[in-house]
A and B are shown apart, each in its own frame.
Chain A
Amino acid sequence: MDNSKTIQQVLYALMRITLPQVFMMIAFTTLVAAAPTRGQEILTRKVSLDVHDKDIKAVLSEIEKQTSVVFTYRSKLIKSSRKISLKVSEAPLADVLKELFDPGIRVLALDDEEEIVLRPGTDEGSTHAVAPYELRISGNIVDEKGEALPGVSILEKGTSNGTTSDGSGNFALNVLDQNSILTFSFIGYTTQEVPVGNKTELAVSLQPDITSLEEVVVIGYGVQKKADITGALTSISPKEFAGQPVTRLDQILQGRASGVQVSNVGGAPGGDVRIRVRGANSILGDNNPLYVVDGYIGADFTTINPSDIATIQVLKDASSTAIYGSRGANGVIIITTKNGGKGGIHVNFSSQFSTSNRIKKLNTLSAGDYAQTINERAAATGGNPFFTQQQVDNFRVSGGTDWQDQVFTEAAGQEYQLGVSGGGDKTTFAVSGNFLDQDGIIRNSNFKRFALRSNIHSQITEKLSLRLNVSGTRKNNLNNGITAGTANPLVQALAWAPTTPPYDENGNMTLRDPTGSIFTNPLALMYDREYRTEIMIANMVGGLRYEFIPGLSLDLQYAVNYLNQQDKFNNGSIVTNNNPNAGRISSEQITLQSTNAINYSKTFADVHRIDAVAVFETQEFTNNKFNATGNTLLIPSLGYDNIGLAGSYQIGSEFSKWTLLSLMGRVNYSFKDKYLLSATVRRDGSSKFRGDNQYSVFPSVAAGWRISEESFMKDQDVVSNLKLRASWGLTGSQAIGPYATQSTYTTTQAAFTNNSARSGIMLGNPGNPNLKWETTEQTDIGLEAEFLQGKFLIEADYFVKNTEDLLLNRQLPGYVGGGNIAENVGVIQNKGWELAITVPVFTGDFGWTTSFNISNVKNMVKSVGGIADKFFTSSNVGAGMSTQAEFVYAPGQALGAYWGLVYEGTWKPDEADQAALRGEMPGDSRYQDLDGDNAITAADYQIIGSAIPTTTSGWNNTFTYKGFSLNVFFLGMFGMDKLNYTRAAALTGGADARQPILDDILDRYIPGVNETSNIPAFSTTNRNYTQSTRFMEKGDFIRLKNVSLGYDFPKRMVKDFGVRLFVSGTNLLTFTDYNGIDPESASSGAGTNQGGDTAQGIDYGSYPNSKTYTVGVNLTF
């Protein structure tokens, strides 16, 4: 034991020492690489030799000295035993080499690198063994529409000699001879091989690769031929979103990947988004998928510049994700970023400008109607009128204030993008920069992103390669994370009276609303309050790969992710009622990841193919946080930049850390490309758990059968590919934060006099030492089929996920001190199906490709562990609106079922006696009295809806004609209910609102006048329970998410440039019955901080999505 500890210590010490060195090596290596060209100067250099029985390798060394030329060859090619005797004087190198080598060895000279490459000859009969690359081939490459295709990789087959096409699709390459074959490859297009023959000019037309069977896809810790995949995964190619105004990964995923549900719950620029792969498994945990970017696990998807993306893979089933073990339960999204191509430099520049507007406005009372309505309310409840008739009449004339107009604005946005890539034979690079600046439609909100990335790859020797991907992202957020509830400008815009002017006669913001809201003026909530979050993320992934023998390689990778977040806030005199405060929160998060992998890949007897990988990985996360607030600022205008000038302070700091140690392995086996088998196992150890619960093992197996490869399928041409696959596996979730196994105290402050506070400690949430992993077992059956050589593609999956030992924060009753305790309780099931269909309807001059996907997930709590029959969670968004937890989890119900009363409308005149039993009268709200005790009590609460969408679908259409392309994309989400607190507050005058604002109130029950309405009358006996079906609405919607029209200028008009112009519209049309502004946005459930998935679907001033128009241009050269 002692011994092993010592070894560990040594190992860690070594890793610390060696890794920076490795990075430096990578960095310097890339500096010395240069781009080669070809010629024959070196073959004419003079050589003098006089050797007898000398080792051939020694002879070559001697020649290297004389000519400054370097020989490159595989050691097998030249037998060391071969002895040479030769005498020449001032002979040209070419002649000497002819003497030395027989025609079985090809001698290729590279001038610029002063290098001579020795290769096995392909043509035994060749006599002309020593040659420069001398046959110059040039040509032009176009796509299926005849448009130039830049960036195509062109390679002389069997060599590393290659180039890429330029902005006009032109290329030129020197090849060995007429026997050479050129391969043309480009992502998304079928690779073509063209024999050179006697041509020197080639015209190549590449066809889109719809089948993509030969495509290699990225999987966890490796790559695999798509045809061999046994798991359920969805690939998205950059082509699918090219030319659309996507600024963030979620906009790419939305509707384009079956089984992936994306909701823009926060419509603010840079706002929250909820992404779920095959539903939500975890109550407590983060249900966001795991993002792996260039091998770094746990990346922040918002920092990725869409233009940098080379591939996106969504791993959905357990056989794909089990390799990520304890973090794979929510699905894994693997992203690789673009690298440079060999030969030439390519530049891509694009810029776009957008303007955004609100998608809808709620109908509010005019000032006159409002004044009259609240007078009527006062009269009905025994109060004095608020306004005289004269005032009411005046308001009818003046119209009053439209507070929604005060809050919403038209917002501008701009984005610039520059990418440069290229490289030589050994080293390639891609560097890109991106700047995004987007205003929000709620005034004074903004998001800016600066992103810079540099990817470098260098093949140092044939066996050793290095890579270094570095990216830096800066995100500046201004007021785009507005909180739900009363302190929200939108909620206040629907609470402030239309009779109240926004500014007083001196031009200052009106401080108080005499009749409407008791809360702050919405203008002050936007302008007197400033919340800035500035985030800097630097991500560095460096790797070293060494190939021992073909098929066996070692890959060492180290990643550092550094996140620095500065939160700054000012609350001015108006929002604090003359006690202005300001503060800062500074946090620094560092994640270190070390991944060491051995890969082995070999084909035996031409039929057995094995790919195996073994990985050892560690990850360590540290968070250091510090916060300070100054209250009663002496000079409020200094704000957070000088909080020292304050009457009193609050400060705090915290540290947290977790570590993860993992071992894993995977074997993929394929027999004759027909029968496929895959098995993985991962063992994870986490610092968050104790004792025997610290380690857990996550295995998976999968099998595939490519029926189309069977001999009985060979004689037909209807089905070109048919694959059946099935998988099973276990994955886990790191649902809990560090320290949940321990009871800890929290820090607080209390006052014992009127001018200072004392710090103290309070018992926090009790720890649970027995916590263990939450485990998700997933079974998947899938079918992939392609008909008529790509004329119709279909992929379907059925899956069942059972999550056991569910981690949840059990809400504790007040009498034990409140709070909650993390527990492993119960089982949740997600089962569903996914279907994706792609049809290239027309492929000629006029092209139309349509792809449709639909996913259905049924989420159900199977058990809550028998401790209680149900558990409750609160959204924390309904302060003042709801008096208890809105959400319940109970067996047989979906996760996040709403808990509330059933609203039965108003009591009608003929029900007066019944109403009287409850102390109510006709016109009052009537709720279902489940137990018949004539009182609305806890016993009358029931499950009244479900917040989780069951069906998500996307329909994407691309039309092409000549240089035009039109993309039309619809998104649909179905099966979720929304609890519309925004409406509840604005219609009932609940919480801080005091008076109704929505014009629906005009249709209320009025005794003797309108006795059919289900909007309750004004009365002192009426009770509004917002947590009821009265404010529960169907949230289903179909949205025309995007329409983009692009035009690529023909080459003859813009020489050597690729120019593309596009216009685009986002969220143009929404079909929904939802009464709120936006069915897609929500105030809860975006992240984990507001109740997670159990609490989604509440709309209480949620930041709505906007309708956005964008114009842009894209240049390539």
Chain B
Amino acid sequence: MKKIKIIYLIALLTTGCSGFLDEEFRGQIVGNASLSTVEGLDAALVGTYKGLGNTWATGFLHPTAIGATMGGEDVTTHKASNKQEFREFDQFAVSAGNSRTGNLYNGCYKAIQGANNIINNYQATVGDLTLINNIAGEAYFIRALSYYWLVRLYGSIPFITTAEYSNDLLTIEKTDPATVYALIESDLLAAEQLLPMKKRDPGRPNIGSAKALLADVYLTEAGWPIKDASAYAKAATKAKEVIDNKLAYGFALMPTFAEAFDNNPDVPTLDEYVFQISAFQSIGGNTNYGFSAMPGDIAGWDDYFPEINFFLNFPAGPRKDKTFRTEFVTDDGTTIQWQQTQTKHPYYGKFWIKGDVKNYVSSLPFVMMRYAHVLTIYAEAKARSGGPDEEAYSAINAIRVRAGLAPLVGLSADAFAAAVVQERAWEFAGERTRWFDLVRLEMVEAANASKHPDDMTPINAITREDYTFPLPLSETLANPNLGD
């Protein structure tokens, strides 16, 4: 017995044991083989969206996009409390370490990585070709959307079209906006070809979503910093394609403005939503609605609320009534007016949850673009490329009439365009639209020139440098080539 054991031992000591050290990858998803089936490709698409909707971490499902657009005169934040990072945007003093843009930035790039992976691999996927194309179309759409946000927020940015990591990516330099816009355009054109007519789910795009986004991209390209005036015509054409096919895409204006902001978490989507990021409370939910938009006097968080002059100048009507809240009932039953709140500001009622639910989270979708956007894009782009036609008037007036305002009539092209831009400020108040309008039309300084005494003013004079934000510190530290 013992002798046998010694022989075992000697044998063990002298033989290699290569099989013993082989790594077992059970449960691990290694390599791109998983993308070879349509189910795997679809799973990778789910992961791609995650970057845009990772509550509290990355993307849009928490008040980070609203923070990034506080340079608009439609929105501000608490002057003290814990809102230092939001204030930096309102005061035009955004530091590179501001985590609010970092959250958006990281989320967009995580989505881009996932989209790159699908775009570069879907042609080898085996399965239902229609579904494969839909998936690829969504990936193109997500990549375009993500780059669109990045290029508008940061200007020149790292430009990545591969999914695989390699060390040389850590030394790349920034790419100018024109190159980024070229990719956004081609991605959306590809998406138009690949996406279905109807959304697969409320939280996904269809052809109409891609066209609408492309129209918005063209409108932006016509302004600062690309300033390609010919893009207005393209914007108008693309927007018109959406308007003409709205029934096929399932888009419509809600009959009343209030219905567009009913904010019922039990309703997954509305026809008015051209594209939304869906949220489900059990995996994080959407924290833009509810406490974020409510005053501290009723347990709200005071993250964002309208600037006073913006509110005062807002034209009266059912839209104003839905947009703002000016009266609040505190816990002890007292009713206070907005002037009596701790912040002395009115609040955005349009971002309260149906029934004034006091919560910081809900399953409400985060609406990235409404059909009303498409109408205003057409109206403005048409006005700036040949002048407003009847269709342009009917587009903008559909919005004005719903808001309780008189229709526009007989304006010059410039006056019409200006009226549409102003209409957008009101219609999309707090909806992360005004800031980008101010930037592309180079109106940031003018819009921030006259502030109500109870609102914060820019710390230093606004310059073109303030039109974009510094890249997050994490980026320039990891890759010094991205510095100025």
Q: Which residues of A contact B (CB under 8 A)?
A: 4-5, 7-8, 11, 14-15, 377-378, 381-384, 386, 512, 514-515, 518, 546, 554, 556, 577-579, 581, 596, 598, 614, 616, 618, 620, 631-632, 647-648, 650, 653-659, 661, 663, 685-688, 690, 694, 738-739, 741-763, 766, 811-818, 821, 867-868, 870, 872, 880, 883-885, 919, 935-938, 941, 989-995, 1018, 1020-1021, 1023-1025
Contact = CB atoms under 8 A, between A and B. Distances in A.
A8 B17 contact: yes
A867 B168 CA distance: 11
Interface in B145-195: 157-158, 160, 163-165, 167, 169-170
Among the interface residues B80, B84, B98, B279, which one has the most CB atoms of the partner chain A within 10 A? B80
B283 A757 contact: yes
B225 interface: no
Given A868-B478, A1020-B87, 14 more contacts: A5-B19, A382-B79, A382-B344, A616-B12, A753-B202, A760-B50, A762-B47, A813-B478, A813-B479, A989-B81, A989-B82, A991-B82, A994-B82, A1021-B91
A1057 to B, nearest CB: 47
B446 interface: no
Given A760-B46, A883-B97, A661 B17 contact: yes
12 contacts: A384-B340, A743-B31, A751-B278, A751-B279, A751-B280, A753-B269, A757-B280, A759-B46, A814-B475, A818-B110, A937-B96, A1020-B80
A818 B106 contact: yes
A978 B79 CA distance: 30
Contacts of B6: 554
Interface stretch (B67-75, B231-239, B420-428, B452-460): B452-460
A1025 B20 CA distance: 52
Contacts of A581: 282
A992 B291 CA distance: 13
Among the interface residues A741, A754, A759, A937, which one has the most CB atoms of the partner chain B within 10 A? A754
A752 B203 contact: yes
B13 interface: yes
A384 B278 contact: no
Contacts of B478: 811-813, 868, 872
Contacts of B200: 752
Interface of B: 2, 5-6, 8-9, 11-13, 15-17, 19-31, 34, 40, 42-51, 53, 79-82, 84-85, 87-88, 91, 93, 95-99, 102, 105-106, 109-110, 113-114, 117, 157-158, 160, 163-165, 167, 169-170, 200-204, 265-269, 278-283, 291, 296-297, 299, 301, 331, 340-344, 358-361, 363-365, 453-454, 456, 459-460, 470, 472-480
A757 B364 contact: no
B170 A754 contact: no
Given A578-B359, A616-B9, A760-B46, A751 B19 contact: no
B301 A518 contact: yes
Nearest to B165: A766
Given A579-B281, A757-B283, A383 B80 contact: yes
Nearest to B458: A919
B346 to A, nearest CB: 13
B358 to A, nearest CB: 8
A653 B27 contact: yes
Given A752-B202, A761-B34, A377 B80 contact: yes
Given A754-B268, A1024-B84, A384 B46 contact: no
Contacts of B28: 739, 742, 744
A762 B107 CA distance: 12
Contacts of A1023: 84, 88
Contacts of A754: 202, 265-268, 278-280, 363-365
Contact of B20 (A596, A618, A761): A618
A919 B165 contact: no
Contact of B5 (A556, A618, A661): A556
Contacts of A654: 27
Given A518-B301, A762-B114, A991-B82, A751 B283 contact: yes
B23 A739 contact: yes
Contact of B117 (A384, A515, A763, A868): A763
A755 B82 contact: no
Contact of B97 (A763, A938, A991, A1021): A938
Given A814-B110, A938-B476, A1023-B84, A750 B8 contact: no
A14 to B, nearest CB: 6
A631 B26 CA distance: 28
Q: Which 7 A-B pairs have the closest CB atoms?
A: A760-B46, A919-B459, A762-B47, A631-B282, A752-B201, A751-B280, A817-B113
Nearest to B45: A760
Contact of B82 (A546, A756, A990): A990
Contacts of B29: 744-745, 747, 761
B303 to A, nearest CB: 10
Given A745-B29, A814-B105, A937-B95, A750 B170 contact: no
A4 B13 contact: no
B94 to A, nearest CB: 10
Contacts of A659: 20-21
A246 to B, nearest CB: 40
Contact of B53 (A382, A631, A658, A751): A751
B11 A818 contact: no
A814 B44 contact: no
Contacts of A758: 46
B474 A577 contact: no
Nearest to A622: B24
Contacts of B476: 938
Contact of A817 (B97, B110, B344, B358): B110
Contacts of B158: 813, 815
Contacts of A741: 23
Contact of B109 (A618, A749, A818, A937): A818
Contact of B50 (A748, A766, A818): A748
A551 to B, nearest CB: 16
Given A381-B79, A554-B9, A752-B204, A687 B474 contact: no
A755 B169 CA distance: 39
B278 A7 contact: no
Nearest to B167: A867
B373 to A, nearest CB: 21
A759 B43 contact: yes
Contact of A378 (B2, B80, B266, B267): B80
Nearest to B343: A383
A382 B79 CA distance: 8
Contacts of B267: 754
A8 B30 contact: no
A1085 B76 CA distance: 38
Contacts of A685: 17, 21
Given A744-B29, A994-B81, A386 B12 contact: no
Contact of A752 (B44, B82, B278, B474): B278
A750 B46 contact: yes
A902 to B, nearest CB: 15
Given A554-B9, A738-B23, A518 B291 contact: yes
Contacts of B43: 759-761
Contacts of B85: 883
Contact of B344 (A5, A383, A870, A991): A383
